[in-house]
Amino acid sequence: MSRRKHACRSRCWARDGGWRKKVMEPNLACFVLFTLFGSVITSLADHNGTRHYTYCVLGAGPAGLQMGYFLSRARRDYIILERNSGPGGFFNKYPRHRKLISINKIHTGRQNREFNLRHDWNSLLSDRPDLLLRRVSGEFYPPADAFPLYLSAFAKELDLRVRYGVDIGRVRSVPSASGRSYVLTDQRASDYTCSVLLVATGLWVPQQVEFVGSDLVEGYESISTNPEDYRDQAVLILGKGNSAFETAQSVLGSASRVHMLSSSPVRLAWQTHYVGDLRAVNNELIDTYQLKSLDGLIEARLEKLVIAERREQGRWRGGRRRRSGGQKEERKLYVTLKKYLLNRSDGNDSAVAGEELPGHHIDNFSLRRPYDRVIRCLGFRFNFSIFDRSACPPNSENAKGRFPAVGPWYEGTNTPGLFVLGAASHSRDYRASAGGFIHGFRYTARAVHRVLERRYHGNPWPSTKVSTSQLLSWILKRIGEASGPYQMFEVLGDVILLRGAHCEYVEEFLLQALPHFSSLSGHEVSSHGLIVVAMQYGKKEIDSLGRDRAETDWTRAWESNFLHPVLYYYKTLPTEEEMKTRPQGWPLPRPEAIHHMVEDFLTEWDGPLSHIQPLRRFLEHCVNTDLRAFYAESCFRSALTHRKPPLFCQQGYLNRRGVPRSHRLREPVPSAGATAAAERGAAGTPGADSAFPHYLAPAGAAMSSGLKLDF
């Protein structure tokens, strides 16, 4: 090829160093040849070479596209790699019966976008107010087919950089100038190298349990979804999650009986407040079980089961059924327990005699009748197989190791620069919050992006400067409309950095990373301390539908059972050790003072006496000043009679900003002794106010770790 290029140049280049007009046609031919040659070389390099990016996002599901939006808005160098031909490939198949259980509440009676996201569990975050799932479906429980359509519109209209048809089969880490890079190899042996790897592949590998006869079991991923295929059949379903109940509900009207078996009892989402537990939309079988209509629920460890199939010879045999002579055999599956096997190995192909069936030992054994089908519906797990040893995060300690283990800011354990997003990151809040679901991980993806912006680009966590006199109003606004802490309760919270006359309000910080707040956010904590605002459920076990299920007395707000705001006041940042030894069930360590706002049926928390006044009293203790609002006349009189007027007057009336006039011109000046700060202003004495506990206690707020710190 170099000879051809040299020959072409010899023909086209004149001795005097210029281009001759009479050789224009050969020159044009040369240009075309060079262009074609360069295109071929570029194509080959692009196909077999290595592409370099700052960020690689693995997976174009909802988490991958959500992160792609944040990277695109920040104008970062990124690429999203997706093995399927379009985004959200998981939802083209799952859920199998094509109905989502994530709510799509369009009509809330409010026009506030942030508030409405509290009740929209499917849409992703963007600056486009119309780019919501309601565009493709108005149903409360949308059809699954609508979600890939929505994701496609999201990716296209926001012009996200997604490369489809790239099936990454290997991920490894290599040393680099920055410390470590990640190399992703696809099915064509092409490599993608990135400084930061964001894994958003979700959970899609079916969870399986090995036991004798497990090869006779059908999987949720491959079963027929036609109810007629189950007509008059006895069905045993392994599992009691939403996929299991979804399957049971689809065949209730056609199957002769449906039994469900797992090691643990059913956990109802409306009791546990965990959306991954059984949702009411799928629980019809509980009715037929409790009303004794042939269906039922059973508890047993799957590892102790044996599934056996009847043979024509009258023997029982575990393993795959066999056909002979081209005739269809009658398929009847029996369930027995491993402990009844006589001198048998644990292999799937063990023979089972009649005396090894539980009915031989217990005549009323619950599963003594045969089944036509046994279906496995045990959920999904993370695909660890594509990661080699240098880049593979370990299995999580919870959830039977189905998730990769990640740290407080979702960076893989022992894999710096590799972050896990979406459903796969759920190990951080498994069974505790909504981080495994779209309405939860859309916010944790934003939090991870803010961590990336701080670490790699030096940009601090976004914050708002708020005057201390307006802090109460700002907190009330956030707890009344913010969707992030509302959905990711006990995981995301607002951090308020107290700085005297003003505050820095940092929204949606990762609570479990609070000891590392300064390094992750770029904001320092002053000697005035900080307040953390979080949303929490009560920790007591109650009857969720019982008469006394809710607490309405603001003086007992700390006994609230349903979602409610909780404020923690710290003089300094908690340490890593304090975070590890925090009380069980607490999202944060013991603070200097804590305040629960009593739960509210309307989730508005705007009651003047039940919510606002107790909160103000707590904040006055934390900021050590009077936070009441005053009329102009009151500020004027206070300025004449007090050495230090209330902060509201200092930052308003006395700062020439104006305050509302009073309609009662002769209204007396509020007593300076009503608050600790006003007393100190009148007397001119600094220090702690000994009278504070007497008015804080009626407000339902504890001022030390020794008072009412139990949830």
* pLDDT digit string, tens, across residues 518-551: 999 999 999 999 999 999 999 998 998 999 999 9
The pLDDT score that the predictor gives to residue 360 is 63
Residue whose token pair is 């090995």:
210
The answer to the question of residue 118 being in a domain is yes
The pLDDT score that the predictor gives to residue 645 is 81
Q: Are residues 464 and 369 in the same domain?
A: no
Residue 661 has pLDDT above 60, yes or no: no
Which domain-ending residue is among 569, 597, 623?
A: 623
C-alpha–C-alpha distance, residues 80 and 166, integer Å: 10
Residue 329 binned pLDDT confidence (cut-offs 50, 70, 90) = low
Give the pLDDT mean for 670-675: 40
Residue 342 has pLDDT above 50, yes or no: yes
The pLDDT score that the predictor gives to residue 351 is 52
Q: Are residues 185 and 256 in the same domain?
A: no
Average pLDDT value for the chain:
85
Residue 414 has pLDDT above 70, yes or no: yes
The answer to the question of residue 269 being in a domain is yes
The answer to the question of residue 579 being in a domain is yes
Residue 272 has pLDDT above 50, yes or no: yes
Residue whose token pair is 């404020």:
567
- Give burial (CB, 10 Å; 0-12/13-18/19+) of 179: exposed
C-alpha–C-alpha distance, residues 493 and 526, integer Å: 19
pTM assigned to the model = 0.83
Q: Are residues 94 and 114 in the same domain?
A: yes
Give the pLDDT mean for 290-294: 95
Percent of the chain with pLDDT over 70: 79
Task: Please give the sequence-ordered ranges of beta strands (E in DSSP) within 468-586, or none if there are none.
Answer: 492-498, 502-510, 530-536, 564-570
**pLDDT tens-place string over residues 184-226:** 999 999 999 999 999 999 999 999 999 989 999 999 999 999 9
Give the pLDDT mean for 587-596: 98
Q: Are residues 55 and 146 in the same domain?
A: yes
The answer to the question of residue 690 being in a domain is no
- Residue 492 phi, psi dihedral angles, 5° rounding: -110, 140
The answer to the question of residue 43 being in a domain is no
First to last CA, the chain: 77
Q: Are residues 281 and 389 in the same domain?
A: no
Q: Are 405 and 384 in contact (CB under 8 A)?
A: no
Residue 569 has pLDDT above 90, yes or no: yes
Q: Are residues 640 and 617 in the same domain?
A: no
Q: Are residues 65 and 152 in the same domain?
A: yes
Q: Are residues 588 and 631 in the same domain?
A: no
The pLDDT score that the predictor gives to residue 652 is 75
Neighbour tally for 330: CB within 10 Å: 10
Residue that wins the pLDDT comparison between 460 and 46: 460
* Lookup: tokens for 48: 């077999």
Q: Are residues 165 and 99 in the same domain?
A: yes
Q: Are residues 412 and 559 in the same domain?
A: no
Residue 482 binned pLDDT confidence (cut-offs 50, 70, 90) = very high
Which domain-ending residue is among 421, 449, 477?
A: 449
The answer to the question of residue 487 being in a domain is yes
- Residue 658 phi, psi dihedral angles, 5° rounding: 85, 145
List the one residue out of 453, 531, 470 whose CA is nearest residue 498: 531
The pLDDT score that the predictor gives to residue 345 is 53
Identify the CATH number of the domain in which residue 255 sits.
3.50.50.60
Q: What is the domain extent for residue 290? A: 214-313+329-342+353-376
Q: Are residues 138 and 63 in the same domain?
A: yes
Q: Are residues 74 and 173 in the same domain?
A: yes
Q: Are 161 and 71 in contact (CB under 8 A)?
A: no
C-alpha–C-alpha distance, residues 26 and 33, integer Å: 10
Which domain-ending residue is among 449, 468, 501?
A: 449
Lowest mean pLDDT among 34-48, 84-98, 145-159, 582-596: 34-48
The answer to the question of residue 684 being in a domain is no
List the one residue out of 467, 529, 530, 469 whose CA is nearest residue 502: 467
The answer to the question of residue 407 being in a domain is yes
Overall domain count for the chain = 4
Residue 641 has pLDDT above 50, yes or no: yes
Q: Look at phi and psi of residue 276 and say left if phi exceeds 0, alpha if psi is from -120 to 50, else beta.
A: alpha
Residue 346 has pLDDT above 90, yes or no: no
What's the CA angle centered on 643, arms 661 and 609, to 5 degrees? 50
Residue 696 has pLDDT above 50, yes or no: no
